[in-house]
Amino acid sequence: MASEDSPLWMLLDEGQQMLASTAAQFLSKSAPVGRLRELPRAPGADGFSRALWAEMAELGWLGLQIPEAHGGLGLGFFDLAIVLEASGQTLMPEPFVSTLLLGAQALLLGGTDAQRARYLPGVADGSRLLALAYDERGMRGDLSRLRASATREADGFTLRGVKPHALDAHVADAIVVAARVEPGDAIGLFIVPRDAAGLAIEREQRMDLLNAATVRLDAVRVGEDAVVGPLETSEALLSAVLDRARIGLSAQMLGAMERAFEMTVAYLKERVQFGVPIGSFQALQHRAARLFIEIALARSSVLAAARAVDDRPAEVPRLAALAKAKCGEAFWQVAAEAIQMHGGIGMTAEHDIGFYFKRAQAAEVMFGDGATQRRRWAEACGY
Amino acid sequence: MSEAPPLTEFRDEIRAWLEANAPASLRGTSPCGPFDGYWGGKKHPPVDPDVLRWRDLCLERGLTAPTWPKAYGGAGLDRDHAVVFYEELRAMGLPRPVVGFGFAMIGPTLLEFGNEAQKREHLPRICAGEIRWCQGYSEPNAGSDLANVQMRAVRDGDHFVVDGQKVWTSHADKSDWIFCLVRTDPTAKKQRGISFLLVDMDTPGVTPREIELISGSSPFCETFFEGVRVPLGNVVGEVNSGWTVAKALLGHERSMIGQSIGRAPGSGQRELVAKARHHLGAAEGPLPDPLLRDAIAHNGMDEEAFQLTLARLAQTREAGASPGSESSILKIAATEMKQRRYTLGMRIAGEEGLGWTDDGFDAQDVDFTRGWLRSRANTIEGGSSEIQLNIIAKRVLGLPDGK
Ligand SMILES: Cc1cc2nc3c(=O)[nH]c(=O)nc-3n(C[C@H](O)[C@H](O)[C@H](O)COP(=O)(O)OP(=O)(O)OC[C@H]3O[C@@H](n4cnc5c(N)ncnc54)[C@H](O)[C@@H]3O)c2cc1C
């Protein structure tokens, strides 16, 4: 049979299994979900731990997929997805999505040699953080409604616009900005250093405790060397980057739903009412069993999508939509049921389960909600 | 088994053999599922001679039951080679040469639990499609609670005398033999007093009576037993330890149901899209009804996630590990997905889906409607969804029993 027809390989090899268990162990210990209560309130807070980020760089996790020439390990996206899943278990707010997915993937897929050499080694060693500012208020991911502008000048471009909710833009050393090139209609990507004149960054406070900022571009001047990917293809580049972000975020969602489910099953065995553990009530047993099924299906979708990035690029758009939609639904359902099955204690700020519910809602709407993914899927399938 | 050539060579060999021999009239006609093909048996209505020729061709090489030992009429292949054989059949749209409960349920059970005489008597006849089997498990008061079977078998010399009733016996009226759970020790605790008995349907006192389904067809019966004399040699395994045999067979049944639903990747979605294009009159481009499009995409995604999960479990097995807890979700995930697909198809068809015969309706739509009705049984038969959920909750999640 043609290899294109055989199913994507979804298993972890021995090294990858080791990576998965090491990462899960290390992160459960050094990044327990409870620290989300403290992080944002610490003085001068970044909202995440730079020390932990540096430690993960030491372990090689930040450069897993970055080529050796740029200081990484040169492994696949699948390997990165393994670490992302582990990071999702404790809802880590560290800048995985912004730096490793959005920023680094833009440079890996479309950056010039000079741009890669300038930024990627710093990503791998943890010293540089990146962000992507593309969406705008009311745009909801629809690029035809993007309004930020890049006016062509003799020696480069002038950028103007407002980009809310850019993940980790408050700490990024450089921000990749999507803007419409004038004159013309193409959408370009431009990498802007954080100290550029006219760039203002306002920190936001989110309920799900991810970190983000509003990026204001008030006539920011950049040179030709700031263009990421040839202008003619940057729209396709942006879609490819977002697809990888969808898959990476889905891996985090998978880790999160698995952990929330584990906590819930443990509670069902421990909490006693009417003289028996509540997990002996069939009404709850069946709902828990259904969640188990949904998680298994979501897991297959994530593993296949992550593998496709390495092995079958043509299938990435379709499988990214699949993974994001399945994980969105399953994570939300698991988190909502988790609160219900915890009863009153699940509603308290003191209990960790609520963090999962907030993150489930956030993750569902980021990079396109379920309905958006289904539209993209239908397009990819030709109907 | 060791004599089989390496897989790629075997694939080429099978393909060449099929190209040269498979009847042209059967090519491209079948999804090659475990229910699509020749059911065999002495009561089978007249059948296309090519179907019998196809059976004979395969039988000669042991390929009607590829994994069974040669001594019993199989080809002695291992699982991987058998998979290659079926993949090649599917690629050419050929039906399996023989299908049915003999091949899928009682055969594998006899291989594990039958004595030599039973294997020699029954397995070759199953391979040849000579004998059709049905399943006598359920009774009026033993459905989900199967261990509550009451049909009595009382010893009389070298025979058992069987009295009682089975129900929901699929295809009993078209079958030659039935495998039954009977109570041989009414004093023992539920599971302990059951025996697994093979009964020739032609024995005096066995009477199947048709039951009509909501889909209008009558694929199953209630089956009455009155003073039916069955030789002692027809007990599979030990007397009173039939429950072990019964459970092993249920495993084969579930995997048959799972396979019947695990069809070619994406085929469910393609069918729905074609249906929508037909009924909405939209030959190409995005479907004009965005809600319907969303619903089809939802179903298509469910289908793909399920197919991927099937593939992942197969890969796990291939890698030599046990697929573990996740295989327990397949029955429920597959059957519910299939029901949602049918339900969506009915929504697409609208009033065109209300036909019972083709007077005023397209035959294709009528078939679909009947398929939709039949699909409601998928979550009941072979262990209902609720029973599957119980199994997941207790065995996989380790949730405690109720008081
Ligand atoms: C199309 C079709 C073909 C069949 N073919 C055969 C055949 O060939 N041979 C054969 O022997 N049988 C056959 N069956 C019977 C089938 O195995 C039974 O219908 C099935 O086991 C359920 O039993 P029941 O119908 O008595 O329902 P019941 O057991 O009475 O169940 C009724 C409802 O109660 C629920 N329920 C029962 N127990 C529990 C519990 N512990 N917890 C929660 N809910 C519960 C069930 O899920 C179901 O929703 C067939 C059935 C169908 C529909």
Taking chain A (383 residues) in consecutive chunks of 10 residues, what is each chunk's mean pLDDT?
66 96 96 92 82 97 97 97 98 98 97 97 98 95 93 96 97 97 93 97 94 97 96 93 98 98 98 97 98 97 98 97 98 98 96 98 97 96 95
State CA B389 to chain mean position distance: 21
Rg (CA), chain B: 22
Q: How far is the CA of B382 from the centre of ligand 1 (A)?
A: 7
Beta-carbon separation of B276 and A383 below 8 A = yes
B380 lines ligand 1 (CB under 6 A): yes
What's the CATH number of domain B262-396, 1.20.140.10, 3.40.50.720, 3.40.120.10, 3.40.190.170? Answer: 1.20.140.10
DSSP state for residue B70 in the 8-state scheme = G
CA of B38 to the centre of ligand 1 (A): 27
The tokens for B223 are 């089956």
With an 8 Å Cβ cutoff, are A282 and B390 in contact?
yes
Residue B101, pLDDT > 70, answer yes
What pLDDT was estimated at residue B219? 82
Partner A, chain B 173-192, Cβ-Cβ below 8 Å: none
Cα–Cα distance between A22 and A58 in angstroms, integer? 14
CA of A82 to the centre of ligand 1 (A): 42
* Residue B169 Cα, gap to closest chain A Cα (Å): 29
Domains of chain A in start order, with CATH, are 7-128 (1.10.540.10), 132-231 (2.40.110.10), 235-380 (1.20.140.10)
β-pairing, A227-228 vs B133-136, is unpaired
Ligand 1 pocket residue status of B72, Cβ below 6 Å: no
Direct distance between the N- and C-terminal alpha carbons of chain A, in angstroms, rounded to an integer: 27
Q: Which amino acid is at A86?
A: A
Specify the pTM: 0.92
| Residues in Cβ contact with B146 at an 8 Å cutoff, skipping those fewer than 6 apart | B137, B138, B181, B246
Quick one: pLDDT at residue A354?
97
List B88, B253, B303, B352, catalytic entry: B253
Sign of the CA dihedral running B73, B76, B82, B84: negative
User: Cα angle at A13 between A9 and A15, to 5 degrees?
Assistant: 150
Q: What is the rounded distance in angstroms from the CA atom of residue A330 to the CA atom of residue A295?
A: 6
Query: Which one-letter DSSP state was computed for residue A271?
Result: -
pLDDT at B1: 42
Decide: helix, strand or coil at residue B225.
Answer: strand
Please indicate whether residue B220, judged by its CB atom, sits closer than 6 Å to ligand 1. yes
CB of B118 sitting under 6 A from ligand 1: no
- Res. B46 pLDDT band, cuts 50 70 90: confident
CA of A32 to the centre of ligand 1 (A): 46
Cis peptide before A183 (omega within 30 of 0): yes
Q: Are B145 and B139 in contact (CB under 8 A)?
A: no
Chain A CB contacts of B397 below 8 Å: 265, 285, 288-289, 292
Q: So what's the pLDDT on residue B45?
A: 87
CB B102 within 8 A of CB B126: yes
CA of B378 from ligand 1 middle (Å) equals 10
Q: Residue with the nearest Cα to atom 30 of ligand 1?
A: B143
In terms of CATH, what superfamily is B133-240? Answer: Butyryl-CoA Dehydrogenase, subunit A, domain 2 (2.40.110.10)
Model confidence at B350: pLDDT above 60: yes
Question: Distance (Å) from the C-alpha of residue B253 to the closest C-alpha of chain A?
Answer: 20
Whole-angstrom Cα distance, residue B169 to residue B151? 14
| 8 Å CB contact between B318 and B242 | no
**Lowest mean per-residue pLDDT among B76-85, B173-182, B276-285, B293-302:** B76-85
What pLDDT was estimated at residue A43? 62
| H helix or E strand, kind and range, residue B244 | helix B242-261
- Contacts with A157 (C-beta within 8 Å, 6 or more apart), sequence order: A150, A151, A179, A181, A188, A190, A221, A222, A226, A227
Mean pLDDT of B195-219: 94
Can you tell me which atom of ligand 1 is nearest the CA of B171?
8
Residues in A touching B333 (Cβ below 8 Å): 293, 296-297
Calculate how close chain B gets to A301, using CA atoms only, in Å: 6
Residue located nearest, by CA, to atom 19 of ligand 1 = B381
Q: Where are the domains of chain B?
A: 7-99, 133-240, 262-396
How do residues B113-164 score in pLDDT, each as one tens digit? 999 999 999 999 999 999 999 999 999 999 999 999 999 999 999 999 999 9
More confident residue, B35 or A352: A352
Q: Catalytic residue at B222?
A: no
Q: B246 CB near a chain A CB, below 8 Å? A: no
Mean pLDDT in chain B?
A: 92
Instruction: Note the pLDDT of residue B7.
Output: 86
Mean pLDDT to the nearest integer, B271-291: 95
For the cut 80, the answer to whether the pLDDT of residue B48 exceeds it is yes
- A275: phi > 0 → left, psi -120 to 50 → alpha, else beta; which? left
Cβ(B215) to ligand 1 under 6 A?
Answer: no
Chain B residue numbers touching A282 (CB-CB < 8 A) = 390, 393, 402
CB within 8 Å: A11 and B319? yes
Is A10–B287 a contact, with Cβ atoms under 8 angstroms apart? no
Chain A with chain B: Cβ pairs closer than 8 A: 138
Distance between CA atoms of residues B37 and B30, nearest Å: 8
Encoded amino acid at A11, one letter? L
Fold category of B7-99 in CATH: Butyryl-Coa Dehydrogenase, subunit A; domain 1 (1.10.540)
Alpha helices in chain A (DSSP H): 14-30, 50-58, 77-89, 104-110, 113-125, 234-270, 282-311, 316-342, 353-365, 370-380
The gap from C-alpha A365 to its chain's centroid, in whole angstroms, comes to: 12
H runs (alpha helix) in A40-141? 50-58, 77-89, 104-110, 113-125
Question: For residue A3, what pLDDT is reported?
Answer: 38
Which of A270, A297, A373 to probe the B interface (max B CBs under 10 A)?
A297
Is B329 part of the contact surface with chain A (CB cutoff 8 Å)? yes
Nearest CA to ligand 1 atom 38: B144
3-state class (DSSP) for residue A192: strand
Mean pLDDT over B29-49 rounds to 89
